[in-house]
Chain A
Amino acid sequence: MKKLLILALLSSSVFAGKTLDAIKKRGNLKCGVSTGLPGFSFPDSKGNWKGIDVDFCKALSIAVFGNASRVKYVSLNAQQRFTALQSGEIDVLSRNTTNTLTRDTSTGLNFTTPLYYDGQAFMVRKKSGITSAKQLNGASVCTQQGTTTELNVSDYFRANRMKLKPVVFESNDEVVQSFVKGRCDALTTDASGLASERSKFKNPEDFVILPEIISKEPLAPAVRQGDDEWFDIVKWTMFALIQAEELGLNSKNVDSFKKSKDPRIKRFLGRTPGVGKSIGLDEKWAYNVVKLLGNYGEIYEANIGINSPLKLKRGLNSLWTDGGLMYSPPFR
């Protein structure tokens, strides 16, 4: 916030479309992540960032530098995230952030393609006996300040003619703690976020997530407006993860496709030149991403999938060929 003000006041020209050059010159990528949401972005016991949002930062680092370690993680709360990006403190925001019309148009940001299709839900105590969000009339609901959640919950209660008693905090930790202590009857955020928070509880089985999904939350990485080259790189890195899964390539088998005759695979892996030059990266960038990190399905399962503590089914996040929304335009 302060930084934005100072920047807006003093700087004479802003980001003339050379984010990629700046990243290369600096030697690292500054990636905005959350303050700690298991499965999405969360520092482990050794202080290494883990999660699907973090893996996307790594994918970008691989696409640009050819290795996953050239990322500097900047931990941001809901309040700081947009200004951090606007002010140039970070190069990309990969932090479970919902794309909305207002955010896309009036905050000077551009959202790329969603990394995770989510929806907002409610979590309550099991012993409260509540089974549907429609029973929440008059309930105190804990939520985080400055999120789309805060608006959705208000809309939902209004639409269903229910009375809402919001309890709103700046920090997510305070929101969750207040819910656990019993200050609120329900906690609301994205369904994935609820699963993530519940996995941190001492007694996760005492809490249930209600079935109603009350909103659409396409969580997408965002970049600054006005630098189309960098926007394209971020967008197509995401597509590369999806395309790799669709082509059946993963980190373990990608080398065995080196001699594949399939022209789609040859183009994707950079053996037929084209995918690198047109985007300003190495011809083998997509190969590197798959080799060093994996495809979308792999990072999904590793971080938030059915065998992770979050236990989230693929659902909407399946490939389009499996009835989901994950779809990449052709690599050609």
Chain B
Amino acid sequence: MFNLLRDEKKRALLIQASGLFLVLAIFGYLFHNTQLNLEKQNIATGFGFFELEAGFDIGEALVEYWSDDTYLKALWVGVLNTLKVSILGNIFAVTLGVLIGLGHLSNNWLVKKLCRSYIEIVRNIPLLLQLFFWYALLTEALPAVKQAMEILPSVYLSNRGLNIPFPVNTANYGFSLFGFIVALIIFFFMERKRDLKQIETGVAKPLWEKLNYTIFLIPILIWALTGASTEFEIPKLVGFNFNGGYTLTPEFTALFVGLVIYTAAFNAEITRAGIQSISKGQWEAAHSLGLSQRDTVKIVILPQALRVMIPPLTSQVLNLTKNSSLAVAIGYPDFVSIANTTMNQTGQAVECVFMIMIVYLTFSLLTSIFMNWFNKKFALVER
């Protein structure tokens, strides 16, 4: 026994094992105690309620949902709504952020000051207030639905949202979109292969490779072959609301705009810091090689800056996703909103809170995995 304690390695192992045991024991106790207490209070436990009829309607859903569907389906609608606003929001927030960040470093006095003011104002106002602001703006400043503005032919704007025409044959366009994505991926690889070839051999891009662009005929071809439908559903004011077409609700729009504007300010600061961290020598070296300002930024500065930018950008991507849970304040049916309703109708707070945590943890971990992969790709390769 004493020998065990004297051996440094074994001792360390023993301490770690007892630490682990202690942590597990605490969690085991908490779990057991929770169950016992809930049972004592006659509060229903378990996930049996998933199969029950939800009974409430949801304002907007990416999949078909009726109030006689199950709670599980309702929660799934919530997950999709959260994903919708997070994915779209992050794409726009990063793009806008990088542009504003670059603008802040611009030599143009006006652009520089505008970007600076944007960052300082937006960054220092709490997000919830900004969401209320956008929502109030959209519902108060826009005309009532009966006086909707026709901003483009058949595109209506009112305080019930933006109503746009939408293709009737969605499958047709869906296939075409899929074709476009495939074409984009193929194009990317073709370009990359050529770039590598150029790096290896120094032979510039032959003119005939412009033909690579013809790959984008694929989606058009698919569209033509799977129906070539040109029929659009036009939004029409029937009774209380516009029917037909696609509706961009004020709830979604306010949340989306609020999140993008807010997060972009942080992304802009990250971009600025990343670029400023590159020493002046790099700029000068690039310029003395005869690279244009654009090529300097694209080839020399940004790739190096990205190494510094990616880790904090990851945090912002995660932040936007997590902040989307503020949706509940302005009536967008995101996952938290629907989980809250479920919690209230079933009374099963522990399960619902647990689920909210698991869902956000999953989102965050998946984002982290992706961003870490991205980070590794851009990390300094030391030879």
Interface residues in chain A, defined as those with a beta carbon under 8 Å from any beta carbon in chain B: 1, 4-5, 7-15, 78-79, 82-83, 86, 102-103, 105-108, 136-140, 145-147, 150-151, 153-155, 157-158, 164-171, 174, 178, 181-183, 185, 224-226
Known: A106-B44, A158-B67. A178 touches B37 (CB 8 A): no
Q: Which among A10, A151, A181 is the interface contact of B140 at CB below 8 angstroms?
A: A181
Q: Check A146–B340 contact: CB distance below 8 A.
A: yes
In the assembled complex, the Cα of A225 lies from the Cα of B40 at a distance in Å of: 9
**Would A1 and B337 count as touching, CB distance under 8 A?**
no
Decide if B331 touches A139 in the complex (CB within 8 Å): no
CB of B341 within 8 A of chain A? yes
Q: Are A165 and B33 in contact (CB under 8 A)?
A: no
9-residue interface stretch from B54-62, B198-206, B272-280 = B54-62
Residue pairs across A and B with Cβ atoms less than 8 A apart, 20 shown, are A8-B33, A8-B38, A11-B33, A14-B40, A79-B343, A105-B42, A136-B240, A138-B243, A139-B239, A150-B57, A154-B57, A155-B55, A157-B57, A165-B240, A166-B56, A168-B331, A169-B328, A169-B330, A183-B250, A226-B40
How far, in whole Å, are A145 and B59 apart by their CA atoms in the complex?
Answer: 12
B251 at the interface (CB under 8 A from A): yes
B139 within 8 A of partner (CB): yes
Report if A79-B34 is in contact (Cβ < 8 Å); known contacts: A158-B68, A165-B59. no
Q: Tell me the smallest distance from the CB of B244 to a CB of chain A, in Å.
A: 12
Segment at the A interface, from B97-105, B292-300, B316-324, B345-353: B345-353
Those 9 A-B pairs whose CB atoms lie nearest each other, nearest first: A146-B344, A107-B347, A106-B44, A108-B41, A108-B43, A154-B67, A139-B240, A166-B57, A151-B55
- Within residues 160 to 215 of chain B, which ones have a CB less than 8 A from any CB in chain A? 160
Q: How far is the CA of A50 from the CA of B348 in the complex (A)?
A: 32
CB distance from A159 to the nearest CB of B (A): 11
- Collect the chain A residues with CB atoms within 8 Å of residue B341's CB: 145-146, 150, 168
Asked, given contacts A14-B40, A108-B41, whether A182 binds B340 with beta carbons under 8 Å apart, the answer is: no
Contacts A107-B43, A226-B42 given; indicate if A11 touches B37 (C-beta within 8 A).
Answer: yes
CA distance A268 to B41 in the complex (A): 34
Residues from chain A with a CB closer than 8 A to the CB of B144 are: 182
Q: Is the CB of B238 within 8 A of A164?
A: no
B41 touching A82, Cβ below 8 Å? no
B349 touches A154 (CB 8 A): no
CB of A225 within 8 A of CB of B41, answer yes
**Contact (Cβ within 8 A) A185 B240:** yes
Given known contacts A146-B344, A181-B139, A185-B240, is B58 in contact with A166 (CB within 8 Å)? yes
Q: Does B329 contact A (CB under 8 A)?
A: yes
State the interface size on chain B (CB cutoff 8 A). 47
- The closest CB in chain A to the CB of B241 belongs to A138
Q: How far is the CA of A14 from the CA of B39 in the complex (A)?
A: 10
State which of A11, A86, A146, A165 has its C-beta within 8 Å of the C-beta of B43.
A86
Q: Is B328 within 8 A of A145, CB to CB?
A: yes
A182 to B161, CA, bound (A): 12
CB pair A150 B56 closer than 8 Å: yes
Q: Are B34 and A9 in contact (CB under 8 A)?
A: yes
The chain B residue with its CB closest to the CB of A136 is B240
Interface: B159 (CB within 8 A): yes
The residue that A14 contacts in the complex, of B41, B239, B347, with Cβ under 8 A, is B41
B240 CB contact (under 8 Å) in A138, A153, A168? A138
Interface pair A154/B239, CB less than 8 Å apart: no
Chain B residue at minimum C-beta to C-beta distance from A155: B55
CA A170 to CA B345, docked complex, whole Å: 14
**Chain A residues whose CB sits within 8 angstroms of the CB of B345 once the complex forms:** 102, 146, 151
Interface residues of B (CB under 8 A from A): 30, 33-34, 37-38, 40-44, 55-59, 67-68, 139-140, 144-145, 159-160, 238-241, 243, 250-251, 328-331, 333, 337, 340-341, 343-350, 353
A169 cross-chain contacts in B, Cβ below 8 A? 328-331
Number of A-B contacts defined by CB within 8 Å: 146
Closest CB of chain B to A22's CB: distance in Å?
A: 16
- Residues of B contacting A9 in the complex (Cβ-Cβ under 8 angstroms): 30, 33-34
**B349–A83 CB distance below 8 A:** yes
**Given A138-B238, A154-B57, A165-B241: A224 in contact with B41 (beta carbons within 8 A):** yes
Contact (Cβ within 8 A) B59 A166 = yes
Q: In the complex, which residues of chain B have a beta carbon less than 8 angstroms from the beta carbon of A185? A: 240-241
Residue of B67, B251, B350 with highest tally of chain A CB at under 10 A: B67
Closest to A148 in B: B345
By the criterion CB–CB under 8 Å, are B34 and A8 in contact? yes
- Known contacts A106-B347, A145-B344; 12 further A-B pairs (Cβ under 8 A): A1-B353, A14-B41, A106-B346, A107-B43, A107-B44, A138-B241, A146-B340, A151-B56, A165-B59, A169-B329, A181-B140, A185-B240
Flag if B239 contacts A137 (CB, 8 Å).
yes
Query: Considering the chains assembled together, what is the distance between the CA atoms of A174 and B135 in angstroms?
Result: 11
Q: CB-CB < 8 A to A157: which residues of B?
A: 57
Contacts of B68 in A (CB 8 A): 158
Q: How far is the CA of A102 from the CA of B42 in the complex (A)?
A: 12
Contact across chains for B331 and A12 when beta carbons are under 8 A apart: no
Taking a contact as CB atoms under 8 Å apart, the answer to whether B344 and A82 are in contact is yes
Query: A182 to B144, alpha carbons, bound, how many Å?
Result: 7
Task: Give the residue name and chain of the A residue nearest to B342 (CB).
Answer: A146
Cα–Cα distance between A206 and B331 once the two chains are bound (Å): 25
How many Å lie between the Cα of A79 and that of B352 in the bound state? 13
A138 to B30, CA, bound (A): 48
- Contact across chains for B344 and A226 when beta carbons are under 8 A apart: no
Is the CB–CB distance between A140 and B41 below 8 Å? no
Per the bound structure, the CA–CA distance linking A157 and B41 in Å amounts to 36
Contact B250 A225 (CB under 8 A): no
- A86 and B55 form a contact (CB under 8 A): no
Evaluate whether A14 and B337 lie within 8 angstroms (CB atoms) in the complex, with A139-B239, A168-B331, A181-B159 already known: no
Task: Give chain A residues whose Cβ lies under 8 Å from the Cβ of B37.
Answer: 7-8, 11, 14
Minimum CB distance partner of B250 in chain A: A183
Indicate whether A178 sits within 8 Å of B241 (C-beta atoms), given known contacts A1-B349, A154-B57.
no
Query: Are A5 and B353 interface neighbours, CB within 8 A?
Result: yes
Which residues on B sit within 8 Å (CB–CB) of A7?
Answer: 37
Q: Report how far A111 CA is from B67 CA in the complex, Å.
A: 27
Chain B residues near A78: list those with CB within 8 A. Answer: 344
Residue on A nearest B238 in the bound complex, by CB? A138
Of A10, A107, A154, the residue contacting B55 (CB under 8 A) is A154
Docked pose: A154 CA to B345 CA in angstroms: 14
Interface pair A174/B330, CB less than 8 Å apart: yes
A147 partner residues in chain B, CB cutoff 8 A: 344
B354 to chain A, nearest CB (A): 9
